[in-house]
Amino acid sequence: MDQTRRVPLSEIYRTFFVIGLFSFGGGLVSWIYRDTVDVRKWMSREDFLPGVALAQVMPGVSSTNCAIYVGQILRGWLGALTAITAMLSAPFLISLAAAWAYKSLLHIPGFQETMIGVAAAAIGMLMRTGVEAARPQIRDISAMAVMIASFLAVGVFRFPLVPVICVMGPISVALAWPSAKAEGAK
């Protein structure tokens, strides 16, 4: 970033508000990159990329972590606060409007049944994604065993997710290690 030019907080707010307003389905880190590095030239590629790595290893959503990082680089803690407030304010307002609309629509005949149908479609889409993600692992019996054990632990027996990951992660790595060494030797 050109240290002689301070980005106004109003520009930071407007940029991240628009990003938050149209943030459906992910890909926001690349949008933040495009707006802050390519379009506005607020920072260099070299300044931005460490923030991407940091945003992905920190807890929370990587796009909001990235917004905080960019705001911090541009204007310190006030820039970070401005960026995250802007990025979250549009979705917050949209959620409030959607909740109000939902409450208003509940009395319309058939609306609840429609919402049940929408929920079923969403669950079906999630299941398809899970099946597609699992498909390459079907031939590997140890990977299938870990997937099934994890599903049973969390989905059926209702064990907490974090302890299951802490147990199943090392088991999965240990089971995959011999085949990874064999592939590396080829």
| pLDDT tens figures, 42-89 | 999 999 999 998 998 899 889 999 999 999 999 999 999 999 999 999
pLDDT score recorded for residue 132: 84
Q: Are 55 and 65 in contact (CB under 8 A)?
A: yes
Q: How confident is the model at residue 137 (pLDDT cuts 50, 70, 90)?
A: confident
Q: How confident is the model at residue 3 (pLDDT cuts 50, 70, 90)?
A: very low
Domain residue limits, the chain: 9-105, 111-185
The CA R_g of the chain, rounded to the nearest whole Å, is 22
The CA distance from 146 to 92, in Å, is 38
Helix and strand numbers, DSSP H then E, in the chain? 7, 0
Residue type for position 1: M
The encoded tokens of residue 30 equal 């690349």
CA 161 to chain centre: 17
What does DSSP assign to residue 3? Answer: T
pLDDT score recorded for residue 2: 46
The encoded tokens of residue 28 equal 């926001």
Mean pLDDT, residues 132-153: 86
pTM given for the model = 0.62
Model confidence at 154: pLDDT above 90: yes
The rounded mean pLDDT for the chain is: 89
